[in-house]
Structure 1
């Protein structure tokens, strides 16, 4: 081989090494199991970020609590321990309670409203608040407007059926509604609920109907009441310093991928919610679709309790956000 050829080969290898080194690694943590419909959307989003950035952003997704535990994701990103994470809105708890606005019983169950959400004033309002808490929001992924009350031995069809039950709670304001029906709530991440149900730590749960299927609740519960009681979303966020370090094209790729993922999440959630009740029934458990009268009974007890709790937690900010959400209805 000539000196010229060797020099060319070395130069090419060096260029390849530089190109490889320039790929920006973005580690993203979330709690969802691999089969969850939104976990699949997160994977699709990650691939889209890589495509739109021409491979300049290397998105590494760690699901099912495999990198950071669900309750630690927010702090890990805010501190810069990892670059990216996805959390359910109610995981913000007391840190940013206005994130729970859509969890209000029978508050935002319209799919049309969710289609408007990513570019709405309400979403922009929350993005500003998230920034104040040390994270940069990059994706909104609607997860469900169809939930289930799961139990063992009987359906939870009326408020009175909740009397004396221990349940996994979703957050202080929403839990006020469960407590108003006589339940006692226990705080825990979604990844721990199956085991808690299996061992009797809790008696019942409320979750996304599709999550009840993907997390195999049918193995530890035998009665499921399908209710449009709450709307939940997963959102993706990154460390602000990490985002600031991206080039403008990379930032644009992240933004565009987030916009696309918002649409994919709605499509996936509609499909998953429609299929899940029959999937659960196929496992031999009892499934009941709540009637209008049953939903009205739940609403009459839960909504005032949530409203009082939400106002206590959020004050003027909560009212301002609720007014912005009203524009979406």
Structure 2
């Protein structure tokens, strides 16, 4: 959020800066929404970018132009890994970012990409109103973050040399898991792990620094990994890779909005969750089609294979997360009630 020097001076002259800034926020406000994904427009492109643009358009419409937004795609406003901490400080208004990227800063956020803990979109959607969602909401608000849209995405594995489907397939491969917890499961299966944001996967695979990458179906498409990968394990059937990738707002920024605007922001955010879920499901199927058309071999995971990975996750990532602190243990216990 910004207000001009003229607004500031007028407020200071009137001896009521708080009242003036409140008026500015309600009448002449502009949100900056940052994300790491390729930019497009409101109808075409990566659905996460489209969701941000839909949010901006609908909020502006419902507030009569009082609350506008600008979307900064492709990490053009700030680096990917700086977004969460910037929101906490009030230096960034909003971001759509994988929550697990904040795991080094807030331990509880690692549950956002916990292998095999969320096995379906239905389970992910249930988090919002279940005990685990309430615990997550409280943790994030205490850290200065408000969740606006609850978004889950399935994913899989794109690989250059050989398929990665069964745990035994991981042995000897250099793999990007996407979270510390996913990496723990992969290491136990015999892989070497690579840590980097999804928008850096292409170059790492292209140079041979990485053999395989786990990411969302949408990112498989948006980052054009079919140009490099020869094998794809999809997320369209079963998957141990479900990522919580919410649209979030700085609590400092949120709290300064008039109540009517806060209500509008939350209402629009909730309505967009249906769009996100349908778009994510569509991309699970589209990714398989895109890779098959490019000549890659496509594989789907079955229940038996998922269970093998879940058994590994339970004694590695789940146990590690549970042992971090009482808050993490409570969240894990609550999440397990849904599967």
TM normalised by structure 2 equals 0.84
1:189 Cα offset (Å):
1.0
| Residues 55-112 of structure 1: per-residue CA shift (max 9 Å, x gap) | 1111111111111111000122222222222210211122223223252322212322
Q: 1:66 to 1:266 in 2, by over 3 A?
A: same
Gaps of 5+ in 2: 1-22, 40-44
Measured in 2, the distance between the counterparts of 1:184 and 1:219 equals 23
| Residues 144-189 of structure 1: per-residue CA shift (max 9 Å, x gap) | 23x2222112212322221222222322222110100111112211
Structure 2 equivalent of residue 213 of structure 1: 221
Corresponding residue to 1:151 among 159, 165, 170: 159
Structure 1 equivalent of residue 81 of structure 2: 71
Structure 1 equivalent of residue 271 of structure 2: 260
**Mapped contact 1:115–1:263 kept (Cα < 8 A):** no
Q: 1:102 to 1:243 in 2, by over 3 A?
A: closer
1:139 Cα offset (Å):
2.3
Q: 1:326 to 1:182 in 2, by over 3 A?
A: closer
Structure 2 equivalent of residue 33 of structure 1: 38
Measured in 1, the distance between the counterparts of 2:249 and 2:279 equals 23
1:326 Cα offset (Å):
3.7
Tell me, yes or no, if structure 1 residue 81 matches structure 2 residue 91.
yes
Measured in 2, the distance between the counterparts of 1:55 and 1:223 equals 47
Structure 2 equivalent of residue 23 of structure 1: 28
Q: Give the number of the structure with larger relative contact order, counting CA–CA contacts within 8 Å between residues 6 or more apart.
A: 1
**Mapped contact 2:94–2:248 kept (Cα < 8 A):** yes
1:19 Cα offset (Å):
9.8
Any idea what SS the aligned residue of 2:97 has? strand
TM normalised by structure 1 equals 0.87
Gaps of 5+ in 1: 1-17
Structure 1 equivalent of residue 142 of structure 2: 132
Measured in 1, the distance between the counterparts of 2:132 and 2:165 equals 33
Structure 1 equivalent of residue 54 of structure 2: 44
**Mapped contact 2:318–2:332 kept (Cα < 8 A):** no
Q: Mean Cα displacement is larger for which, 172-181 or 282-291?
A: 282-291
Measured in 1, the distance between the counterparts of 2:275 and 2:128 equals 12
Measured in 1, the distance between the counterparts of 2:141 and 2:25 equals 31
Aligned pair count reads 309
Structure 1 equivalent of residue 68 of structure 2: 58
